[in-house]
A and B are shown apart, each in its own frame.
Chain A
Amino acid sequence: MHIHLTDQPIDVAAVLASVQDDGAGAVNTFIGTVRNQSTGRRVVRLDYEAYDAMAIRQMEHVAAQALEKWPMLRQVAVTHRKGRLDIGDVAVVVAVSTPHRADSFAACQYIIDTIKQVVPIWKKEEYEDGSVWVAAHP
C-alpha cells in the first residue's frame, strides 16, 4: 500500500501510477476537491489540520481492512493533503487496482467513506466573514 500525508499539491498521476499492476484489469480512483460553497455559504479556502502520526496509522488500517474485505485487491494508494487549500485544489486521492471493476468500485468507496469517519484530519472552512470547523457540532 502507498499511504501519504503531504502539505504539497498532490500529483494525481503519480498516485495512479503507484497502483498500476499487471494483474489488474481495473483501476478506480476517487479525487476529493475543494468546492466553493458549503451549507449555503461561500467558501474562500480550507485549512486542513492533521495529527500526522495517527492519521497515517489510521489510513494504513483502512487500507488493510480493505485488503481483508477484498483479498483480490492488487494495490491501494491514499494521499491526503494538509495545510491551506484553495478552491479546486485536490484534498485527497484514493486509488485501487483489482482484476475486475466491481470490486474496484466497492473497495474505493469503502476506503474513502471509512477515511472520513476515522482518520484524524480536521477541515476548517474559511468564509469571507468567518470560519467553521466542519462537523464539529451536531
Chain B
Amino acid sequence: MKLKIALFGIAKEIVGSSSLDLDTPAGQSVTGLMQQLQTQYPALQKLSSLAVAVNSEYATDDYQLQERDEIALIPPVSGG
C-alpha cells in the first residue's frame, strides 16, 4: 500500500521534504514503518526520540496503518 507521511522540524530536514510517499506492505505496523524509515534515512536513528502520529493522535507501536490514515512523523518536540 502507499502511505503519505507528513514531516516536521528536523525530520523534514533529514528527508529533505515536508511529505514523503512510501510503499509499504499492507497492514504495516507503526514499528515496521519506523524501521523502514530509519533504514532509508539513517540520520533518523540519531534523534533523541521519534514517534508516529495517526490522525492527530500518537499511535501505539502495534497499530496497523491504513492508506487513508493521516500519518505524521514526530521528532522530539520542543514547544513552550
Contacts and interface: CB of A to CB of B under 8 A. Distances in A.
Interface of A: 32, 48-51, 53-55, 57, 80, 91-92, 112, 115-124, 133-138
Contact of B79 (A57, A116, A133, A138): A116
B33 interface: no
Contacts of B27: none
Contacts of A121: 77-80
Contact of B77 (A91, A122, A137): A122
Nearest to A119: B79
6 contacts: A50-B8, A54-B53, A121-B77, A122-B75, A122-B77, A135-B77
A136 B48 contact: yes
B15 interface: no
A54 B72 contact: yes
Contacts of B8: 49-51, 120, 122
A116 B77 contact: yes
B75 A136 contact: yes
Contacts of A118: 58, 77
Interface of B: 6, 8-10, 13, 46-48, 53, 56-58, 72, 74-80
Given A49-B8, A57-B57, A116-B78, 5 more contacts: A50-B79, A92-B79, A112-B80, A118-B77, A137-B46
A49 B9 contact: yes
A123 to B, nearest CB: 4
B12 to A, nearest CB: 8
Nearest to B74: A120
Residue with the greatest number of chain B CB neighbours at <10 A, chosen from A80, A91, A112, A133 = A133
A38 B57 CA distance: 31
Contacts of B76: 135-136
A57 B74 CA distance: 14
Contact of A133 (B6, B56, B58, B75): B75
B8 to A, nearest CB: 5
